[in-house]
């Protein structure tokens, strides 16, 4: 079985030719054929100076020019094939030089990524376990679910600014909730894909909420952030019939398309009665 260099040597044994060489040989063959046609036409037109020997000689030259053009074309094909084979051989050599160790390197990086993801999942589990323990202590202290959960500030001093709203623990201005590690990991992985557009492996996860995956880190940073001060322009109302409290901002009083506002209508009808923030929130 021949080697690649041997095949290249066979193709280049008879010399090389370029596309320009082929074009020049074909042009010479075309000119020789035209010369035969011209002599033949002169005979038809009655030119007695043209001899049979001249026409045969022109035909012979034309035939030879065609053969030489065909030979040049074949030589150019062999030259191109040798060049193609040499480039393929170089590419194969590059691939073979690159390949050793790639699998091991990628496996190590994937193992490191797995460890980091497991560390994150363990940290989230520890967070959730800590919150569960505090929930148990709050239950032992006789706390019930906060009734004033609309309050964006803190539980009252009468219960040491401590409470809970379902899974959410409230301590002062901080609200801590158990976390789902899969949610953040999925968002992060979607972000990795989204940062590589145009690649076959950059398909984002299909769920639309993952489209803004780049915000996952900021979202996670805020899980322990204290509650900010409420809008000082909020207005508070108590429903006349149910006694429930509504907290409304300025946008709530914007008129609809026909210039009306449902809250203002209820206020005018006496169904909503404005109260102070202290009355609404106890603070």
Report residue 210's pLDDT band, with 50, 70 and 90 as the boundaries.
very low
Domain housing 265: 235-281
Beta bridge partner(s), residue 247:
236
Q: Are 11 and 123 members of one domain?
A: no
d(CA 122, CA 278) in angstroms, rounded, equals 42
Q: Is the pLDDT of residue 151 over 90?
A: no
What's 47's DSSP letter?
A: -
Choosing from 57, 81, 98, the residue where a domain stops is 98
Q: Are 118 and 213 members of one domain?
A: yes
Residue in the block written with tokens 């108590």: 238
**What percent of the chain shows pLDDT beyond 90?**
36
Residue in the block written with tokens 């959730």: 128
Report residue 148's pLDDT band, with 50, 70 and 90 as the boundaries.
very low
What's 271's DSSP letter?
A: S
Of 82, 70, 88, whose CA–CA distance to 21 is shortest? 70
Q: Are 182 and 264 members of one domain?
A: no
d(CA 152, CA 227) in angstroms, rounded, equals 7
SS3 for 272? strand
d(CA 234, CA 277) in angstroms, rounded, equals 8
Report residue 218's pLDDT band, with 50, 70 and 90 as the boundaries.
confident
pTM of the model: 0.60
SS3 for 39? helix
For residue 184, being part of any structural domain is answered with: yes
Q: Are 179 and 72 members of one domain?
A: no
Q: Are 212 and 196 members of one domain?
A: yes
pLDDT value at position 207? 47
**pLDDT tens-place string over residues 230-263:** 888 889 998 988 888 888 888 888 888 888 889 8
Report residue 281's pLDDT band, with 50, 70 and 90 as the boundaries.
confident
Q: Are 14 and 127 members of one domain?
A: no
d(CA 217, CA 206) in angstroms, rounded, equals 20
Choosing from 98, 113, 143, the residue where a domain stops is 98
Report residue 165's pLDDT band, with 50, 70 and 90 as the boundaries.
confident
Q: Are 245 and 179 members of one domain?
A: no
**Highest mean pLDDT: which of 120-124, 143-147, 215-219?**
120-124
d(CA 171, CA 164) in angstroms, rounded, equals 8
**Highest mean pLDDT: which of 6-10, 72-76, 129-133, 272-276?**
129-133
Q: Are 86 and 34 members of one domain?
A: yes
Q: Are 152 and 199 members of one domain?
A: yes
Report residue 145's pLDDT band, with 50, 70 and 90 as the boundaries.
low
Q: Are 109 and 220 members of one domain?
A: yes
Q: Choose the weakest-confidence range: 180-194, 205-219, 228-242, 262-276.
A: 205-219
Domains identified in the chain, total number: 3
Q: Is the pLDDT of residue 142 over 70?
A: yes
pLDDT value at position 206? 44
pLDDT value at position 154? 77
pLDDT value at position 208? 46
pLDDT value at position 155? 79
CB 58 within 8 A of CB 32: yes
Choosing from 37, 65, 98, the residue where a domain stops is 98
pLDDT value at position 193? 64
For residue 230, being part of any structural domain is answered with: no
Q: Are 109 and 56 members of one domain?
A: no
Q: How far apart are the first and last CA of the chain?
A: 93
Average pLDDT over every residue of 107-117: 95
């Amino acid at each position: 079985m021949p080697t690649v260099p041997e095949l290249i040597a066979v193709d280049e044994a008879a010399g090389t030719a370029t596309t320009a060489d082929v074009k020049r040989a074909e042009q010479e063959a075309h000119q020789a054929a035209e010369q035969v046609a011209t002599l033949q036409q002169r005979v038809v037109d009655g030119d007695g100076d043209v001899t049979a020997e001249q026409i045969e000689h022109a035909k012979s030259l034309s035939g030879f020019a065609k053969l030489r053009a065909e030979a040049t074309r074949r030589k150019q094909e062999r030259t191109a094939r040798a060049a193609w084979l040499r480039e393929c051989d170089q590419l194969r050599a590059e691939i073979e030089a690159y390949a050793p160790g790639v699998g091991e390197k990628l496996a190590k990086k994937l193992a490191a990524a797995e460890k980091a993801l497991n560390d994150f999942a363990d940290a989230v589990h520890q967070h959730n376990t800590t919150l569960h323990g505090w929930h148990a202590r709050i239950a032992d202290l006789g706390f019930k679910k906060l009734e004033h959960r609309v309050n964006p500030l803190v539980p009252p001093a009468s219960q040491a600014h401590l409470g809970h709203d379902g899974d959410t623990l409230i301590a002062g201005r901080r609200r801590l909730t158990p976390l789902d590690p899969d949610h953040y990991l999925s968002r992060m992985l979607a972000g990795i894909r989204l940062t590589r557009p145009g690649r076959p492996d950059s398909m984002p996860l299909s769920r639309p909420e993952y489209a803004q995956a780049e915000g996952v880190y900021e979202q996670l940073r805020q899980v322990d952030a204290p509650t900010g001060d409420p809008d000082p322009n909020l207005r508070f109302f108590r429903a006349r019939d149910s006694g429930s409290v509504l907290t409304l901002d300025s946008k709530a009083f914007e008129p609809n398309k026909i210039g009306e506002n449902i809250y203002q209508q209820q206020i005018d009808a006496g169904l909503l009665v404005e109260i102070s923030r202290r009355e609404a929130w106890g603070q």
